[in-house]
Structure 1
Amino acid sequence: MAPPLDRRHFLKGAAALGAAPLIGGLQACGGSDATPASGNLDESAGFDYPLALPLPFAHGVASGDPLRDRVIIWTRITETTPSADEIAVRWEVSETPDFARVLRSGTQRTNAARDWTVKVDVTQLAPASSYYYRFHAFGRTSITGRTRTAPDSAVDSLRIAVLSCSSYWSSWWSGLGHLADRNDLDLVIHCGDYIYDFVDQDEEVRARKDAKDTALPDYRDWLNIGELRRRYALWRSDPNNLRAHQQHPWFIVWDNHDLDEDYGNELATPFDGEQSTTTLAQTTQVFWEWTPSRPVKADGSGEFILVDDGSYPAPEDSQRVWRRLPYGPLLDVFGVDTQIGLPGHGLTMDASHLPSGNSLMGRTQFEWLTQSMRASAEAGVTWRLVNNQTWLAPADVPDLVEGLPPLPKIGISRWSDYPEERAALLQNLRGDHGAGSRVRNNIVVSGDAHGNLASDLIESTALLGAYVSGLPVPNPRPGSTAANVLAGFGRATTGNLGPLNLREASVGVEFAPSSMGRGGGDELLANALQLEPGSAATVAGTRLLELALIALNKNIQFLEWVDHGYGIVHLTADRAVFEYWWQDKLTPGSPDVLGRQMIAWAQTDSSGLVARFQDQIDDVTAHGLAVAPTRGTRVADPAPLTQTLAPR
C-alpha cells in the first residue's frame, strides 16, 4: 500500500533484507525443548537489536483488554541467539508492588513461532482493582507492571486516555511520559497507527542511535516479517512508550500504517518493493504477538477467546480485531476496524446492508456494532465509546444543500468515500429505518488525521439545513510552543436558542486528540511553502485552514491542526469531559499543556440559562464552567522502575 498523501496534496495545493539480526526467525541449533539454566544474554559481541532494558526482558511489560475478572499481561524474551526451541517463563500477579503476597502465578512456554512473546490471560481477579505483575526467566526478573481490571458495578468515574499515530521518528513522545506518570487512569486507548512503516520526509526528528540511514531496517519500511517484528521492538525501546505500557492497561486497534504489506518510503532507499515478502496476514499476526490485546473468535461475533489455563491466547483469525470491553453500568467500550476493508488490502467487503455503493466495515461488523450498541443502551449502560481509526464526522468540502449532487471531496477522512455507510450507521443510532428506539450518549474517539477535533455526529454534509451551530472564534488558550498562540478555533456558544435544540440531528460526539508525533497541518504547510516548521508564518497559515474547515463544516465544534499529544476522557453519570493535552514534539521532556476542554451531557436539561442537550459536544465555558483539569478518585501506586532504561 502506497503511503497516503491526501492531506499533503491538499495542503500543497492550498499553499500555491536488513543486516541486523532477525530474532523471530532464528531456531536453536540443538533442537532441545529443555530450557537452559542461563540464556544467551551477553550483548558484548556486537549484538544489534532495539532494546531498552537488560536482557532477556529488554522490551519491558504491558497489559491490555481488561475485563471485570481478567486481563492480558505481556512480555518478550530476547536473547542474542535463542538458547532452546522453547523457553519457560514464569509470571506472577500481586495486589502490591512489593509482591508480599502472590495471588496468581504460572508458567508459559514461548518459541520462535510467536517471536518469543509471552501473553497470559490472568483470571480470577477482582473487579475495578489495580494489580502488579512480573515475569521470570534465566534467573532474571522483568520490571514490574501495573494494570487495572474493569468494574462490574457502579463507580463514581472512569478515566480514559486516548492517542493515535505514534511515530517514533517524528517526536520525542513526551506525552507518553506524562501518561506514564498519571496514576488515576483506568485505560489507555490507541486508535491506530500504533507503529509506522516509513519515515515522513518532513519529520526526521530522531533515529535509533541517531542513524538516519535508509539502508538500515530501523529507518525505512520493513521488507519481511522479521523486520516488521523489529519495528515493534524499536517502538518498545523508547523509554516513554515502555513506561506508559508498564503503568496502564491498553486497548488497541490497527490502522493503515500498522497493516502496510507493500513496501514504500518517502525517503530514497537502496531497496525496491520487489524485495518485500510481507503479507497482510503477517502484519495482523505480528500485531497480536506484540500488543497486549485479547483475540476474538473468527465468527465475527466480536466475542473474546477466553483462555483459562494460562496458555498463549492465539487468534483464530488474525484479521478480526473488532471487540467490546464492558466497564460496568457506566460504560461500554467498542473497538472497530475501518481499515482492513479498504481496497488496497484486496479483501471483498459484504455491502448487502446498504442500498448501493461500497462498504468500509462490511455487513458482519456493521451489524455487530449497531446491534451491540443498541443492546448496551437497552441494558441501561450510560455511555458508549467507540475506538475508531479515522474522523467519522464530516470535515471536508461541504455540499450546498441536501439533494444536489455532492461536490468533490479532499479526502481528509476515508469516510468521505463511504457517505452511505456513515449515514446508515448514524441513522441506525437515531432509530430510523425501523431500527427501533434511539441510542443516546455515544462517543467516538478517532485518530488518523493528526489534528485536534471535537464534533457532533451528523450525516449531512450540506452547508445549509436545519442543524445550526454557534459562530467560530479563536481558542483563547495557547499551544505547547511560543508560536502556537490562539491555538485553533472553537465555538463560544452552543448555538441553541434557550430550550430550542437546533443541533438535534446529532446522534453522538466525536473526540480526536491529534497525534502522538505524526505531523499536522502546519508541518505540511511549511514543507509546501519552504518555511521553517513551527514558525509563526506556518501557524498563521494553518489558522486560516482551520477557520475554513470549521466555518464550512457546521458540526465541528473545535479544530486545531498544529499541536500534538493525547486526550483524556473523564466520565461520570452526568457528564463526559474531554481534555486535549499537548506537548512540543521536538523537545524531549516537553511539559504537558491543557489546550482545550469540552463537555457532553448524559441527560437533557433545558431549565437553565443554557440548555444541556445530549449528544452534543461544547466548550465547558459555554455552560459557565471554568477550565480546570479533571482528576480521578481511584488512585494506585505506580509500578516501580527498578532497572535503568538504556535505549540502544
Structure 2
Amino acid sequence: MTFSRRHFIKTGLASSLISPFYRPAFALPNSALFDCGVASGDPTHDAVIIWTHTTKPVTLTWQVAEDVAFTRIVKQGQGQTFNEADCTFKVDVTGLTPGSIYYYRFSSGSEQSEPGRTKTLPEGNLDTLSIAVASCSNYPFGYFNAYHHIASDSDIDFVVHLGDYIYEYGQSGWGAESGRQLNRQHLPAHEIVSLADYRQRHRQYKTDSGSRLMHATHPLIPTWDDHESANNPYMNGAQNHQSHEGSWTARRAASIQAYYEWMPLREPGPQANKAQLWRHFSFGNLATLTTLETRHTGRSLQIDYGEHLKQLNTEQSLRHFIETVLGDPSRTMISVAMEQFLEAQLAASVKHAKWRLIGNQIPIARTHVPDVTDLTLPTSLADNDPVAAHFAYFMALGKLDLPIYLDTWDGYPVAREKFYQLCQSVDATDLIVLTGDSHAFWANQLYAGDGDAMGVELGTAGITSPGDFESLGPELATELDLRVASHNREIMWTDCQHRGYVKVSLQPEQATVKFIAVSNVNSEHYTAKTLRQYRITKQGRSLSMTRA
C-alpha cells in the first residue's frame, strides 16, 4: 500500500492523503500562529494533557468536546502563552470519562489550530488494547513516515514513545550527509547545549508533517532516552558532553526543561524532581504499563570497550573483565526510588491485570556478538576506512563473545539481575518489555540468571535512525542479523535494516505483535508492510511467543 503526505499541511487535505483504511474526521490547516500543531498525552482515567505552541505570546481559548464538530463541548477555558515557557501551552484537562475519545482545539482571535483527537485510560473490564511503540526519530535522516503510518491506524489507542524523540547533534554530526541531501539539516546548526538550543530543536522536530498528524490523532505516553540531552548520559555526565560545553548539570537541566515544555507531559509537583520521569498507567483489568528512567537518576558511568579491548588477550584477563569490571555490583542502572515505585506498581498489577508492560529505553536481552572471522566486507566497501573499522570492531567483539553494546543492560549485568529479582519477588515473571534505542527490531525471550523465564522483549526499529549493520551492505547486514539471533539464546529474531515501529494488540488470552516497516524515509511517498508477526500467550505466570 502506497502512502503520500506531501501537501497535507499546506492544503488541509489530510483525509484524502492518508491511508485508505483510516480517514481522520479532521484536516490539518496551516495556521501561522499554531505552527507546530497540537498534541495530547500522559492520559489518566479521568484526565489528559492537551498541548500547543504559538509563534508569539497570546491569550488563547481551548475547548474539549465529545465530537469533532465541537457541538458537545465538555470542557473549555482560557490561558496565556509566555516567552518564559517558549510560548508552549498545555492544560491538564480533568473530570473526563474513562475510556472515552475526545476532540480538542485552540484558538486566538481569528486563528484556530487543527483539532486533535485524544483518549482517556479505560477502567473495568477491557477486551482489547492496541499500542504503537516508537523510538529514535532523527530529523536529518529522513521523513517521519512511520509516525504518519501510526496516525493512519484507527485501531491504535495510545502511542508509547521510548525516547530519542530528538537528537542533539549539529549539522556536521551524525546524519550530516542525509540532512544535506534531504534539506533536513538540524537547527540550530551547532550541537545543542543551552535552553534556547533545546527549544529550537524541539520546535523543528514538531514541524514534520508526519509528527504533526500522529500527535493530532493519538495520545502520547512519552519518556526520554539519551539524545534528548546528549549521547549516553549517566548520573554525572555524558559521553557526548565535553568540558568546553560548560556544566553538565546545567545542560541536563536545560534539556529536561525543554522536554517538559515541548511534550504533552504532566508537570510534577513544585517540589518534585523532574528527572524522576517514571510513571504507571492502568488499562482496566487488561494491562498495566510502567515506564523506567534509566539515564539521569540511577545510572553509573558506562564502561568503554576502548579502555579494555586491547588488554583482553588472555583467558584470565577476559574473565576478569567480565566478572570484575562488567560484574561490579556497585554499578547501578535505576535508582532506589525507581525500584520502590516499580515494586509497588508491579505488585498491584499482578493482583488485577492480565498483562504487564514495561516501557524500557534500552535493550535488556543478552546480546553477544558471534564469531564473524569467516566473513569479509564487500569489495565496494573494503577501502572505506570508517566501514572497515566498524566491521573490525565487531570482529574483535565476536572473537571474545562479548556483548555488542555496553550502554544497554548488557553493560550492567548485576543491575539487570537485581531488576529481575525485584520482579520475581512480586511474582511478575510475565513481563512484556517494550524497548527502543537500538534502531533495530527485536523479538526476544528473557531469562534471569537462574534460568527462570521473565517474559519477552519487543524492540522497535528507529523512526528514521539507521541500524548499526546497515553501513556494511545488505548481504552482510542480513547475515549478521541471522548470526546474532542464532548465537544468542534470548533472541528469536532481529532486523537492523528497516525503519518503523511495533504494534502490540492485547486481548485477555493472547497478544499479537506486528513489526511494521516503512519502505523508505527519503521521500514522503512510501509503502508499509508487516515484516514479522508474533503471538504471545500466557501459561500461568510465564509467556510463550510464537511466530504467527
After superposition, the Cα gap between the structure-2 partners of 1:189 and 1:92, relative to the gap in structure 1 and judged at 3 Å, is: same
Residue among 542, 551, 568 paired with 2:503: 568
Residue among 70, 76, 90 paired with 1:119: 90
Letter in 2 for 1:331: A
Does 1:592 find its partner at 2:520? Answer: no
Greater CA deviation, 443-452 or 421-430?
Answer: 421-430
Residue among 105, 124, 128 paired with 1:157: 128
Distance 1:544 1:161 in 2: 28
Residue among 458, 474, 490 paired with 1:555: 490
Asked if the contact 1:337–1:361 (Cα under 8 Å) also holds between the matched residues in 2, the reply is yes
After the TM superposition, list the runs of 4 or more consecutive aligned residues in structure 1 that deviate by more than 4 angstroms. 261-266, 275-278
After superposition, the Cα gap between the structure-2 partners of 1:264 and 1:444, relative to the gap in structure 1 and judged at 3 Å, is: closer
Equivalence for 1:424: 418
Q: Secondary structure at the match of 2:514?
A: strand
State the 1:202 CA deviation: 5.3
Asked if the contact 1:187–1:249 (Cα under 8 Å) also holds between the matched residues in 2, the reply is yes
Distance 1:159 1:339 in 2: 27
Render the CA deviation track for 1:455-514: whole Å, top value 9, x for unaligned.
111134xxxxx96xxxxxxxxxxxxxxxxxxxxxxxxxxxxxxxxxxxxx2111110121
State the 1:219 CA deviation: 4.1
1:298-377 mapped onto 2 (5 Å cutoff): 316-340=272-296, 341-343=298-300, 356-377=329-350
Equivalence for 2:441: 452
State the 1:425 CA deviation: 1.5
State the 1:68 CA deviation: 1.2
After superposition, the Cα gap between the structure-2 partners of 1:417 and 1:367, relative to the gap in structure 1 and judged at 3 Å, is: same
After superposition, the Cα gap between the structure-2 partners of 1:333 and 1:296, relative to the gap in structure 1 and judged at 3 Å, is: farther
Asked if the contact 1:163–1:447 (Cα under 8 Å) also holds between the matched residues in 2, the reply is yes
State the 1:614 CA deviation: 3.1
Asked if the contact 2:142–2:182 (Cα under 8 Å) also holds between the matched residues in 1, the reply is no
Distance 2:521 2:335 in 1: 37
Equivalence for 2:545: 617
State the 1:90 CA deviation: 1.3
Equivalence for 1:487: none
Distance 1:390 1:240 in 2: 25
Residue among 498, 508, 516 paired with 2:455: 508
State the 1:119 CA deviation: 1.0
Instruction: Give the TM-score normalised by the residue count of structure 1.
Output: 0.66
Letter in 1 for 2:363: W
Letter in 1 for 2:527: P
1:396-415 mapped onto 2 (5 Å cutoff): 396-397=368-369, 408-411=402-405, 413-415=407-409
After superposition, the Cα gap between the structure-2 partners of 1:443 and 1:203, relative to the gap in structure 1 and judged at 3 Å, is: farther
Asked if the contact 2:146–2:463 (Cα under 8 Å) also holds between the matched residues in 1, the reply is yes
Letter in 2 for 1:553: N
Normalized per residue, which structure has more strand? Answer: 2
Instruction: Give the TM-score normalised by the residue count of structure 2.
Output: 0.78
Residue among 39, 55, 74 paired with 1:103: 74
Asked if the contact 1:568–1:580 (Cα under 8 Å) also holds between the matched residues in 2, the reply is yes
State the 1:618 CA deviation: 2.1
Distance 2:152 2:216 in 1: 11
State the 1:220 CA deviation: 3.8
Equivalence for 1:176: 147
State the 1:344 CA deviation: 6.0
Equivalence for 2:162: 191
Distance 1:552 1:412 in 2: 18
State the 1:207 CA deviation: 5.6
Distance 1:397 1:145 in 2: 45
Residue among 72, 75, 79 paired with 2:49: 72
Residue among 514, 524, 531 paired with 2:471: 524
After superposition, the Cα gap between the structure-2 partners of 1:219 and 1:181, relative to the gap in structure 1 and judged at 3 Å, is: farther
Equivalence for 2:432: 443
After superposition, the Cα gap between the structure-2 partners of 1:601 and 1:295, relative to the gap in structure 1 and judged at 3 Å, is: farther
Letter in 1 for 2:509: D
Structure 2 residues without counterparts, runs of 5 or longer: 1-28, 303-326, 372-399
State the 1:109 CA deviation: 2.4
Distance 1:59 1:232 in 2: 10
Equivalence for 2:391: none
Distance 1:210 1:171 in 2: 9
Greater CA deviation, 546-555 or 249-258?
Answer: 546-555
Render the CA deviation track for 1:329-384: whole Å, top value 9, x for unaligned.
00111111111244469xxxxxxxx9932111011112211231122102x21111
Distance 1:398 1:422 in 2: 22
1:30-69 mapped onto 2 (5 Å cutoff): 53-69=30-46
Equivalence for 2:480: 545
Asked if the contact 2:360–2:436 (Cα under 8 Å) also holds between the matched residues in 1, the reply is yes
State the 1:65 CA deviation: 1.1
Distance 1:315 1:76 in 2: 26
Bigger Rg, structure 1 or 2: 1
Asked if the contact 1:165–1:194 (Cα under 8 Å) also holds between the matched residues in 2, the reply is yes
Greater CA deviation, 566-575 or 137-146?
Answer: 137-146
Distance 1:55 1:207 in 2: 26
Asked if the contact 1:75–1:117 (Cα under 8 Å) also holds between the matched residues in 2, the reply is yes
After superposition, the Cα gap between the structure-2 partners of 1:202 and 1:116, relative to the gap in structure 1 and judged at 3 Å, is: closer
Equivalence for 1:394: 366
Structure 1 residues without counterparts, runs of 5 or longer: 1-51, 267-271, 298-313, 346-353, 400-405, 461-465, 468-504, 526-537, 605-612, 621-648
Normalized per residue, which structure has more helix? Answer: 2
Render the CA deviation track for 1:16-42: whole Å, top value 9, x for unaligned.
xxxxxxxxxxxxxxxxxxxxxxxxxxx
Distance 1:587 1:139 in 2: 34
Letter in 2 for 1:118: F
Q: Secondary structure at the match of 1:591?
A: strand
Render the CA deviation track for 1:227-276: whole Å, top value 9, x for unaligned.
2101011001110001100000000110110022999999xxxxx97366
Equivalence for 2:5: none
After superposition, the Cα gap between the structure-2 partners of 1:162 and 1:361, relative to the gap in structure 1 and judged at 3 Å, is: same
Letter in 2 for 1:181: S
Asked if the contact 1:452–1:513 (Cα under 8 Å) also holds between the matched residues in 2, the reply is yes
State the 1:587 CA deviation: 3.4
Q: Secondary structure at the match of 2:428?
A: coil
Greater CA deviation, 112-121 or 572-581?
Answer: 112-121
1:429-508 mapped onto 2 (5 Å cutoff): 429-430=423-424, 435=425, 438-460=427-449, 505-508=452-455
Asked if the contact 1:377–1:440 (Cα under 8 Å) also holds between the matched residues in 2, the reply is no
Equivalence for 1:238: 208
Asked if the contact 1:65–1:250 (Cα under 8 Å) also holds between the matched residues in 2, the reply is yes
Letter in 1 for 2:461: S
Asked if the contact 1:413–1:449 (Cα under 8 Å) also holds between the matched residues in 2, the reply is no
State the 1:122 CA deviation: 0.6
After superposition, the Cα gap between the structure-2 partners of 1:397 and 1:523, relative to the gap in structure 1 and judged at 3 Å, is: closer
Letter in 1 for 2:350: A
Asked if the contact 1:370–1:425 (Cα under 8 Å) also holds between the matched residues in 2, the reply is no
CA RMSD of aligned residues (A): 2.9
Distance 1:546 1:91 in 2: 49
Distance 1:344 1:328 in 2: 39
Distance 2:271 2:208 in 1: 27
Q: Secondary structure at the match of 1:521?
A: coil
* Identity fraction in percent: 28
Asked if the contact 2:99–2:123 (Cα under 8 Å) also holds between the matched residues in 1, the reply is yes
1:128-147 mapped onto 2 (5 Å cutoff): 128-147=99-118
Distance 1:410 1:511 in 2: 18
State the 1:208 CA deviation: 10
Distance 2:524 2:508 in 1: 38
Distance 2:329 2:245 in 1: 39
Asked if the contact 1:412–1:449 (Cα under 8 Å) also holds between the matched residues in 2, the reply is no
Equivalence for 1:255: 225
